[in-house]
């Protein structure tokens, strides 16, 4: 399946809707036809039901062919393990945000979050960075690029060139909750 969109457009923008208008219908039909004669495997990155585009096919295939979804390990799980630091402790609330959200929404959620994950970063990094700064969280923010993949990179977000962030990149702020006191 060759996707017509690979950048991080807001899901409700006209460009996104136009580009994907027929794509999922077309591929749901093609997969349903194929599945009549053979088993079909759709490989997904991370977990198919976690902000995954497979969900658009899954809903279109309901009642047409049986679909079994195998749970996957989310990209964010790989990313926080790449930082070698727990993401949540004790009663931390983990907030997962999409970098496509408007800046005001990002600031509001970031300010209230204990632990924080921001996905769909890519070209949205400058806005995400501004929002973290306004919420007072930039100093604690990490960027993980290509988590668990070849070329994985972990860096403090404040040190990263915002013009050079790939599609597979997640921003993390670790929670502190009831973290045990560690010796200095």
Ligand X SMILES: C[S@@+](CC[C@H](N)C(=O)[O-])C[C@H]1O[C@@H](n2cnc3c(N)ncnc32)[C@H](O)[C@@H]1O
Stretch of residues binding ligand X (CB under 6 A), selected from 26-34, 35-43, 88-96, 116-124: 116-124
- Cβ atoms of residues 10 and 122 within 8 Å: no
Q: How far is the CB of 77 from ligand X (least distance, A)?
A: 8
Cβ proximity to ligand X: between 79 and 135 the closer is: 79
Q: Applying CB under 6 A, does 50 fall inside the site for ligand X?
A: yes
Contacts with ligand X by CB under 6 A: the residue count is 23
Q: What are phi and psi of 46, to 5 degrees?
A: 75, -140
Q: Applying CB under 6 A, does 149 fall inside the site for ligand X?
A: yes
Work out whether strand 94-98 and strand 169-173 pair parallel, antiparallel, or are unpaired: unpaired
Q: Applying CB under 6 A, does 78 fall inside the site for ligand X?
A: yes
Residues 6+ apart with CB under 8 A from 71: 47, 48, 49
Cα separation, 55 vs 75, whole angstroms: 16
In the complex, the residues that contact ligand X under the rule CB under 6 A are 45-47, 50-52, 74-76, 78-79, 119-121, 144, 146-149, 167-170
């Amino acid at each position: 399946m060759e996707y017509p969109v690979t950048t991080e457009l807001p899901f409700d923008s006209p460009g996104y809707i136009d580009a994907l208008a027929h794509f999922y219908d077309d591929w749901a039909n093609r997969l349903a036809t194929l599945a009549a004669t053979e088993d079909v495997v759709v490989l997904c990155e991370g977990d198919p039901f976690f902000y995954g585009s497979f969900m658009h096919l899954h809903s279109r295939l309901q009642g047409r062919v049986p679909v079994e979804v195998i749970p996957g390990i989310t990209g964010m799980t790989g990313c926080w393990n790449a930082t070698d630091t727990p993401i949540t402790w004790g009663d931390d609330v983990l907030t997962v945000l999409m970098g496509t959200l408007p800046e005001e929404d990002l600031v509001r959620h970031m300010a209230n979050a204990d632990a924080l994950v921001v996905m769909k970063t890519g070209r949205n990094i400058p806005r995400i960075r501004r929002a973290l700064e306004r919420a007072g969280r930039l100093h604690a923010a990490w960027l993980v690029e290509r988590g668990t993949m070849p070329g994985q990179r972990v860096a403090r977000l404040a040190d990263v060139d915002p013009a050079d962030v790939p599609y597979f990149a997640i921003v993390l702020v670790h929670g502190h909750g009831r973290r045990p006191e560690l010796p200095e």
